[in-house]
């Protein structure tokens, strides 16, 4: 039971990562590899500030700001440097590794004995692992509601329009470059925020903790789209967090079978590949059934 509760809690926390990538990947139609660097950057900034005595909530906000700055760098490489988005993200991600080492001073920093956002009195009174479930739920609902509000504003609608058709948006007086900058900053800010809350939940930050995060984020998005179909934008945003929980439960189920935790990245890739292929498999089966029915009728 504790393992299931822990998986649900981690699913809520990592759902912020899925929400961040959803903005760039689905709404902006941009392939942004920056998230692989932004996640550990948010962890490094928040943990380093907490170790130095900063209020954990301020440290968490600082992680959002650090992620937004990373997104700004990628956006400027795309809009001003005319570098393809995939390459721009890789360049930023690579540079962030050195920044993480400079921020932390070493490859790994522990939060042992330090107060975090999970040190609040009401969270401490909860049963084991329930603190991440409650904190994750609060964060998920708060961030999702803010995103829904943002996307309903004129600026948010311009943001969506740019992702749908940049040329059409430009003809309506919208600047695609400004939307790209804003979108990548918000997207990576959320990823940095996710890095901060996950690091505080784990009790440490590590320069290598961003490895494979883009697969985790994509899995949350794809699983939510496979399981919860024909949803409006607001519902899709909430579904991303549920997709993250399902993904964590799938990993838990696979590990319970007896596979080593060393194979998590391989398992994640296989789960993602299976979810991406499922709609095509269903379509082929549907066509086959239709053909067989028609054949029997004749």
Q: What is the pLDDT of residues 75-115, one digit of tens each?
A: 999 999 999 999 999 999 999 999 999 999 998 999 988 99
Confidence class for position 298, pLDDT limits 50, 70, 90: low
Nearest to 103 by CA among 66, 72, 75: 66
| Non-local CB neighbours of 156 within 8 Å, separated by 6+ positions | 150
Answer for the pair 123, 135: CB distance below 8 angstroms, yes or no: yes
Distance CA 14, CA 281 (A): 28
Confidence class for position 258, pLDDT limits 50, 70, 90: low
Confidence class for position 259, pLDDT limits 50, 70, 90: low
Please tell me the pTM assigned to this model. Answer: 0.89
Confidence class for position 53, pLDDT limits 50, 70, 90: very high
Residue 228's pLDDT is 85
Residue 65's pLDDT is 96
Residue 45's pLDDT is 96
Given 3-state DSSP classes, what are the helix, strand and coil percentages for the chain, each rounded to the nearest 5? 80, 0, 20
Confidence class for position 71, pLDDT limits 50, 70, 90: very high
pLDDT at residue 162 tops 60: yes
Residue 275's pLDDT is 72
Greater pLDDT, 280 or 198: 198
How many of the other CB atoms lie within 10 Å of CB of 168?
11
Distance CA 90, CA 292 (A): 48
H/E element holding 275? helix 264-297
Beta bridge partners of 252: none
Q: What is the average pLDDT across 156-177?
A: 87
Residue 250's pLDDT is 83
pLDDT at residue 49 tops 80: yes
Distance CA 225, CA 231 (A): 9
Residue 287's pLDDT is 63
Q: From residue 62, give the alpha-carbon distance in Å to each of 33, 77, 247.
A: 21, 23, 28
Beta bridge partners of 110: 204
**What are 5-17's pLDDT values in tens digits?**
888 888 889 999 9
**What are 172-230's pLDDT values in tens digits?**
888 889 999 999 999 999 999 999 999 999 999 999 888 888 888 888 888 888 888 78
* Helices and strands per DSSP (H, E), number in the chain: 12, 2
Answer for the pair 241, 11: CB distance below 8 angstroms, yes or no: yes
Percent of residues, the chain, with pLDDT higher than 90: 45
Helix (H, G, I), strand (E, B) or coil at 230: coil
Mean pLDDT, the chain, rounded, equals 87
Helix 176-202 vs helix 56-79: crossing angle, to nearest 10: 150
Distance CA 54, CA 105 (A): 17
Residue 110's pLDDT is 93
């Amino acid at each position: 039971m504790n393992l299931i509760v822990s998986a649900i809690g981690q699913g809520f926390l990592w759902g912020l990562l899925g929400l961040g990538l959803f903005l760039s990947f689905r709404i902006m139609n941009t392939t942004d590899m920056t998230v692989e660097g932004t996640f550990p950057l948010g962890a490094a900034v928040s943990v380093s500030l907490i170790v130095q005595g900063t209020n954990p909530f301020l440290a968490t906000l600082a992680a959002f700001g650090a992620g937004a700055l990373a997104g700004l760098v990628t956006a400027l490489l795309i809009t001003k440097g005319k570098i393809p988005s995939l390459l721009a993200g890789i360049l930023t991600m690579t540079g962030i590794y050195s920044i993480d080492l400079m921020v932390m001073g070493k490859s790994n920093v522990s939060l042992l004995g330090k107060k975090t956002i999970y040190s609040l009195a009401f969270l401490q009174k909860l049963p084991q692992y329930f603190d991440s479930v409650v904190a994750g739920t609060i964060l998920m609902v708060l961030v999702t509601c803010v995103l829904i509000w943002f996307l309903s504003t004129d600026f948010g609608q311009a943001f969506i329009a740019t992702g749908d058709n940049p040329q059409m948006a430009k003809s309506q007086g919208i600047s695609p470059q400004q939307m790209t900058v804003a979108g990548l900053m918000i997207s990576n800010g959320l990823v940095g925020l996710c890095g901060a809350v996950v690091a505080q939940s784990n009790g440490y930050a590590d320069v290598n903790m961003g490895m494979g995060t883009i697969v985790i984020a994509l899995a949350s998005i794809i699983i939510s789209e496979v399981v919860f179909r024909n949803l409006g934008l607001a519902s899709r945003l909430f579904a991303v967090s549920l997709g993250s929980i399902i993904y964590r439960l799938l990993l838990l189920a696979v590990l319970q079978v007896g596979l080593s935790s060393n194979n998590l990245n391989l398992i994640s890739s296989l789960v993602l590949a299976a979810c991406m292929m499922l709609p095509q498999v269903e379509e082929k089966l549907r066509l086959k059934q239709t053909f067989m029915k028609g054949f029997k009728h004749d």
